[in-house]
Amino acid sequence: MAPAQASPNGAASRAPRTSWALAAALIGFFVIALDALIVSVALPTIADEPGGGLTGLQWVVDGYTLLLAVLLLSAGAVSDRIGARQAFAAGMVLFLIASAASGLAPTLAVLIAARLLQGAGAAVMMPATLALNREAYPAAGRRTRALALWAVGGSAGSAAGPLLGGLLSAVNWRWIFFINLPVGLLALFLLTRVAQSPRRPVPFEWTGQITAVLAIGGRRSR
């Protein structure tokens, strides 16, 4: 009996699915990097409305990066336990809810709380973007090229943050958060084209995570 040959049509049908996963991961990394920098240039207009002192305004910027850094330690385990696609979706939904809350915030305290939630959503998304690429491109060569494109998304977000923040805050500072909504919804749409990710029963290090929260939070509060 002749050996079965791989179907060109089957390979072609898998190619778009891997492209959807890469596109969703790239967009996710883009908004994560974007929101680390887009707020900085809008602080003078945020100081006018909803107002707040220098310490409060600093927390608008640092609250996001603080939660991102702290929770990133355990977010990889969460991604493995629930699956990369599912973790990315959950993180993006939380990120979008927090973005909408930031844009609608009536007070500085609400804005800071929303930025903390935004950082938590970004932390859940970040390792999931890498895992999506790993699952979509198991071959080392293709995975390396995919990771290079994924890195472009983060670089583009970092570069666009100050420029886009300046342009949007000239209209209204709230738009620096609302701009995340169509971009994030696009990523979630692309994710519907990606297969469900497998789950792996990896351990969750509660002691290390709590210690990291106390250490980084205590150092930031000084």
The tens digit of pLDDT for each residue in 81-125 reads: 899 999 999 999 999 999 999 999 999 999 999 999 999 999 999
Say if residues 180 and 27 touch (Cβ distance below 8 Å).
no
- Closest by Cα among 216, 218, 220, 219 to 71: 216
Convert the pLDDT of each residue in 4-53 to its tens digit: 444 444 444 444 567 899 999 999 999 999 999 999 888 888 888 776 77
For residue 118, count CB atoms less than 10 angstroms from its CB and return exposed for 0-12, middle for 13-18, buried for 19 or more. Answer: buried
- Domains, the chain: 24-194 (1.20.1250.20)
Convert the pLDDT of each residue in 141-164 to its tens digit: 888 999 999 999 999 999 999 999
pLDDT at 72 over 70: yes
What's the predicted TM-score (pTM) here? Answer: 0.85
For residue 127, count CB atoms less than 10 angstroms from its CB and return exposed for 0-12, middle for 13-18, buried for 19 or more. Answer: buried
Q: Kindly report the average pLDDT of the chain as a whole number.
A: 85
41 Cβ contact list (under 8 Å, min separation 6): 162, 165, 166, 169
